[in-house]
């Protein structure tokens, strides 16, 4: 393992992050568990950054990949592609967007980049609204709209980005307000902001901020924003890269918590739909998707083998009601972790929906972020046999918990016990 780490450091960028003081190589997985190259088993509560949506080595997905690979793996979008058309039909159907068109990419970053291209072209504006504490990918354009300093290495951008309040409920200038007053204050701030700038192309927002530590606004905030946006002709882009496909339990899409305003103009997705295969995409009304006046293709977006995997994965997800399982098992897990957190002075908040759970850590007796404790808990959890993630903005430190949606009650209890031990060993 040390030899592999040394080789990694010799040939890969210094800024390519690795977890743990002694990084591990994951060699294989099954269900909700993975094994490292030394044979150690771990309960996986991070799923390759929310990507293993259903289960590791899900037979239905591996069979679909194998059978498709035996026929043809790739041909590009220059040729008709049956699996791509079939998946686009299913995605359009479940999107909630009328007259939907779907474009497939290889990642969430590329999906958001495409959404920005569509919105700025359709609206003929390079001004964007984004949420504070947000994250939308690692491309030059996505970094330019990311409202999280830790993940935005440059301020250079072809876009003018204005950041809006509301993505973080329990911090910031409106945190002391009740939900209704919080929404009203954020809407008033949005209206004031729009009075000082040229009309933006779109607001891009994660229904639950992923890298930001699984923070979210009160239900209905984006519906209230939508009324203001419509008055100005501004589009709403829902970044569902982390929240989509039933992970939040209550809804299939995160935007549905704000559904009284109707679906977004554009939805981006990735991660879980491929269950580890490289699949992303954009859904938009036909008039928006078709606004480009130049030709375009995708060499690798929508390739046959990734589409076959996503089709099998989506079918399994729907047929086995994994959204319902996320709601039931996730609800039990959140309550179990809240009971633990109430006993520990370093746990400020346990938040989340379904199987998308954040545990915010602070220095005991303060509201100050505690990145050292965050690192210690991550290491202690790994030592106990549990893999979790981390995130947060400039003033927050949060554990991120996102197991595959097929998690059982017994596995949820096992993971909660392991995390409790890691927290208690730190505080």
335-392 confidence digits (pLDDT tens): 999 999 999 999 999 999 999 999 999 999 999 999 999 999 999 999 999 999 999 8
Report whether 32 contacts 409 (CB < 8 A): no
Beta bridge pairs of residue 400? 358, 389
Q: What is the mean pLDDT of the chain?
A: 95
Report whether 280 contacts 111 (CB < 8 A): yes
pLDDT the model gives residue 153: 78
Report whether 140 contacts 151 (CB < 8 A): no
8-57 confidence digits (pLDDT tens): 999 999 999 999 999 999 999 999 999 999 999 999 999 999 999 999 99
pLDDT the model gives residue 217: 96
Give the whole-angstrom CA distance, residue 259 versus residue 261: 5
Report whether 43 contacts 385 (CB < 8 A): yes
Q: How confident is the model at residue 154 (pLDDT cuts 50, 70, 90)?
A: confident
Q: How confident is the model at residue 294 (pLDDT cuts 50, 70, 90)?
A: very high
| Residues contacting 251, CB < 8 A, separation 6+ | 257, 259, 323
pLDDT the model gives residue 215: 95
177-199 confidence digits (pLDDT tens): 999 999 999 999 999 999 999 89
3-state secondary structure of 225: helix
Give the whole-angstrom CA distance, residue 339 versus residue 17: 32
Q: Where in the chain is the domain with CATH 3.90.1150.10?
A: 2-57+321-426
Report whether 273 contacts 279 (CB < 8 A): yes
Give the whole-angstrom CA distance, residue 155 versus residue 226: 28
Beta bridge pairs of residue 127? 160
φ/ψ (deg, to 5) at 398: -135, 140
- Angle, helix 409-426 to helix 322-341, in steps of 10 degrees: 30
Look up residue 405 and give its DSSP letter: T
Handedness of CA 41, 42, 48, 50 (dihedral sign): positive
Proportion of the chain above pLDDT 90, given as a percent: 92
Residue environment code for 219-231, b if the CB has 16+ CB neighbours within 10 A, otherwise e: bbbbbbbbebbee
Q: Where in the chain is the domain with CATH 3.40.640.10?
A: 62-319
Rg over alpha carbons for the chain, rounded to the nearest Å, is 21
Q: Which CATH architecture has domain 62-319?
A: 3-Layer(aba) Sandwich (3.40)
pLDDT the model gives residue 1: 54
CATH 3.90.1150.10 is held by the domain 2-57+321-426: yes
Widest pairwise Cα distance in the chain: 62
Give the whole-angstrom CA distance, residue 243 versus residue 356: 8
Report whether 134 contacts 209 (CB < 8 A): yes
Report whether 169 contacts 215 (CB < 8 A): yes
């Amino acid at each position: 393992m040390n030899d592999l780490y040394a080789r990694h450091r010799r040939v890969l960028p210094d800024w390519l992050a690795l977890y743990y003081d002694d990084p591990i190589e994951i060699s294989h997985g099954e269900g909700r568990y993975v094994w490292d190259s030394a044979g150690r088993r771990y309960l996986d509560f991070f799923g390759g950054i929310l990507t293993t949506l259903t289960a590791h080595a899900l037979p239905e997905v591996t069979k679909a990949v194998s059978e498709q690979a035996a026929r043809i793996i790739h041909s590009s979008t220059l040729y008709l592609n049956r699996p791509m058309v079939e998946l686009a039909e299913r995605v359009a159907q479940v999107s909630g967007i009328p007259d939907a068109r779907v474009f497939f990419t290889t990642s969430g970053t590329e999906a958001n980049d495409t959404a920005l291209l569509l919105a700025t072209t359709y609206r003929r504006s390079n001004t964007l609204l984004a949420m504070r504490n947000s994250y939308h990918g690692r491309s030059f354009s996505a970094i330019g709209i990311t409202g999280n300093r830790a993940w935005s290495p440059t301020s250079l951008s072809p876009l003018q980005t204005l950041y809006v309040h509301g993505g973080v409920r329990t911090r910031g200038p409106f945190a002391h307000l009740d939900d209704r007053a919080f929404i009203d204050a954020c809407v008033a701030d949005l209206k004031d902001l729009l009075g000082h700038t040229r009309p933006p192309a779109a607001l891009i927002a994660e229904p639950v901020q992923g890298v930001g530590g699984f923070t979210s606004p009160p239900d209905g905030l984006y519906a209230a924003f939508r009324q203001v946006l419509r008055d100005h002709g501004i589009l709403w882009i829902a970044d569902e890269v982390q929240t989509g496909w039933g992970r939040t339990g209550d809804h299939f899409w995160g935007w549905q918590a704000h559904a009284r305003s109707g679906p977004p103009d554009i939805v981006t997705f990735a991660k879980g739909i491929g269950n580890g295969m490289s699949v992303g995409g954009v859904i938009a009304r036909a008039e928006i998707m078709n606004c480009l006046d130049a030709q375009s293709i995708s060499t690798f977006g929508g390739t046959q083998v990734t589409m076959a995997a996503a089709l099998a994965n989506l079918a399994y997800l729907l047929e086995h009601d994994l959204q319902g399982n996320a709601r039931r098992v996730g609800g039990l897990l959140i309550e179990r972790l809240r009971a633990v957190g109430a006993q520990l002075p370093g746990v400020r908040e346990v938040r989340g929906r379904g199987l998308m759970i954040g545990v915010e850590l602070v220095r005991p007796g303060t509201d100050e972020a505690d990145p050292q404790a965050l690192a210690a808990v991550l290491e202690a959890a790994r030592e106990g046999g549990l893999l979790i993630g981390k995130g947060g903005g400039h003033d927050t430190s949060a554990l991120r918990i996102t197991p595959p949606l097929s998690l059982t009650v017994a596995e949820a209890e096992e993971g909660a016990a392991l995390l409790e031990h890691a927290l208690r060993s730190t505080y």
